[in-house]
Amino acid sequence: MAGLPVAARLYLTVVVTAALGVAGFTLAVGSTTFAWGYVLVLALLFHYCEVSPVRLTVHHARASMSYAVGVASAVLLGPGAAALIGLTAVASLQPDLPAVKRAFNGAQFALSGFVAAVVFAGLDPGWAGTLTERTYLAFGAALVAYVVVNLVLVAGMLLLSRQATTRQLRRELRHLALPTLGNGAFGLVLVGLWPSLGPYAALLVLVPLITARWALAVPYAEAKACEAAIAAICQAVETKDPYTRGHCLRVGEGAVLIAEQLGLEPRRIEALRYAGLVHDVGKTAVPTAILQKPGKPTEEEWAALQLHPWYGSQLIKDIAFLREAVGGVMHHHERVDGSGYPLGLAGEEIPEFARIIAVADFFDAVTTERPYHRPWPREKALAELQALAGTHFDPRMVAAFVRAMEMR
């Protein structure tokens, strides 16, 4: 906790205090009416789901099937039990989980469960175990309340601890909302089975929960396979031209910074990052002696170098997940005034990905050590980008990159 900013520490204290207050009050008032055996069963199921979250393709994001158990607990056992079950996340079996993270997780799950239970009880008071149209509506409202409280609390901590910007959160929370609601909806299965099967329903629900977890994990596994393929491509380029070591990664990151400023969709941002990572793959077809030559290339050598974007586009054009990257790879050396290569495209004729990559590529090229020049200071590189906006580079992309760099 010592490493957190003051605002984040205060926020954490308030959230944890609120959760302990809610749990303590409900425990003091209603402990004699709690079905402790049911609480234990649902707490164990909650923990099983919580220790095996699914990695999503959104950066650092995870989706836990524990949302389903949390909402079901709110419906079946009421506010007090739901808060207690959420609070047990403090004792999570996840290895290497910091104490601060444990405390916050338990608190936000407790508050989410409590609010969801209050919403359900308000919309379907005196629910007797029969699934009616009113129950479905109340469950849906409770689920939305659970998810909203959870995501808002997490977003607040990320903002105050400076782990994310408002723009990043808006983008990623929008992307996370549907998977999270989908996970929570499985709680309705548990709610429907519980009146007739009691705690045995928890065992039956494990099957759809495990199946859903497996289905959600598939996109991340595919993304990791794509990342491995990209890493191999980057390694091939850097082996051929050691002076560009790390260049592919930095261009990909720079392209993403621009895309975030432009407000591109997450799917396109990821495709753009791939394009930035592989933009120089065509250099593998250029003779090593030309790539590593310390002086200026001859006309013949320059002609060979100018073909690398075309070589690159041919190498990746049949790779399905890189299809949108082809235009960025092929045209990242075009200039908006038409003086670039390989086709001399101008203005809007140049694909958007290529105009973005061109800016990130130039900045990294001039600010890193190369055989033919010493690295420029960041300020000089940004000034040169602005000077070349409208001739070499798209002014909109330059402005977006400058804003991103100023924020960093």
List the domain boundaries for the chain. Answer: 6-217, 241-407
With contact defined as beta carbons under 8 Å apart, do 316 and 278 qualify?
A: yes
pLDDT tens, per residue, the chain with 408 residues:
556 788 888 998 999 999 998 888 877 776 556 678 888 888 888 877 776 665 545 444 555 678 888 899 999 988 888 998 988 888 776 667 778 888 888 899 999 999 999 999 999 988 888 888 999 999 999 999 998 998 889 888 888 887 767 776 676 666 667 777 777 787 888 888 888 888 777 777 766 666 666 666 666 667 777 778 788 888 888 777 776 678 888 999 999 999 989 988 878 888 899 999 999 999 888 888 887 777 778 888 888 889 999 999 998 988 888 888 899 999 999 999 999 999 999 999 999 999 999 999 999 989 987 666 688 899 999 999 999 999 999 999 999 999 999 877
CATH topology for 241-407?
Answer: Hypothetical protein af1432 (1.10.3210)
DSSP lists the bridge partners of residue 370 as 373
DSSP lists the bridge partners of residue 393 as 389
Torsion on CA atoms 329, 330, 335, 336, rounded to nearest 10:
-90
The pTM (predicted TM-score) of the whole model is 0.61
Phi, psi (degrees; rounded to nearest 5) at 355: -65, -35
The class level of CATH for 6-217 reads: mainly alpha
With contact defined as beta carbons under 8 Å apart, do 172 and 61 qualify?
A: yes
